[in-house]
Structure 1
Amino acid sequence: MTPSPSPATPGLTWLNSAVESDARSALQEVCAARAWAGAVLDRRPYATPAELLAANDAAMAELTAEDLAEAMAGHPPIGRPRAGDPSSAREQRGMAGASDRLKEEMLELNLAYQEQFGHVFLICATGLSGEEMRDAARSRIGNSPEEEREIVRTELTKINRIRLTSLAETARPADVEGERT
């Protein structure tokens, strides 16, 4: 007997029924690449969160180097989460309790990485300690631009999956208002 698919969640229901501009705005909070948001929008509706995650994976695989650059521009450097952005702070909490020395080292690595590749060091920081992020930056700084672009694609895919899961599970304000009327 095959298991039945998981039911749609409040955020997924909202994403499926939202007007395109609202859905696009929500998706671009997940990933700043316009091509990615367009590809995910084009695949609506989603019966399950797993279908949404599969759409993410497919859209990420299709991004060009320019699209990846646009996606990376939406991410702050590791160790400096975007002020007022709870997702950024949550994703980078491994650096929150880091020593001043580790934070300084991460800043130096971020600058060297950016000099080498022309963009921020990007890693799916969720669940990683400051030391693990530092070690990853150290090891990746020697990569070729082509190798690093594919690593970044993989890391962005992971970040998007975490953010999309949250989006799919969370009722949007319009959902709650609609239930009250």
Structure 2
Amino acid sequence: MRRLDARQTHVIRFTLNGRAVEAHCSPRMLLSDVLRGELGATGTHVGCEHGVCGACTVRIDGMMARSCLTLAVQVEGATVDTVEGVAPAPGRLSVLQDAFRKHHALQCGFCTAGIVMSLDTLLRDAPDADEARIRDVLSGHLCRCTGYHAIVQAALEAVETLRKETDHA
């Protein structure tokens, strides 16, 4: 088996928010560092650097992941979604983002990107999520500003809005 030299730079190719990208990184470089420093996806925040706070949450091949715990080389050929890709089009908010705005579900905003990614994934996978399921997903995130009430209310509104849109389709 060939050993990776930590001093070597590797080219990784993957899909970021629907767009093919390429980045240069060392074998030990974290995905969060590549996203922010190499690719300009600065919506992904790094808080605790231990995978506890959830600020760095992204989706890798449809599954939530902590980008501060993921080596960049692990996403070779994968699909990575960040908060920059949640909106349906430039200048438009997703249903969830709009509900966050209406309910003032963010204050400093540091944790918001990771929370939005987790809730967006939940709403995609379980569009009928109830408050208990929403709170369960939020238990993987630390927010020091909002107290979570507004976040839960925003998520519940998004569930209801998406339900109505599905019923009318």
TM-score of the pair, normalised by structure 1: 0.27
Higher normalized contact order (CA 8 Å, seq sep 6+, divided by chain length): 1
The structure that is strand-richer by fraction is 2
Structure 1 or 2: more helix by fraction: 1
Task: Please say which structure displays the higher CA radius of gyration.
Answer: 1
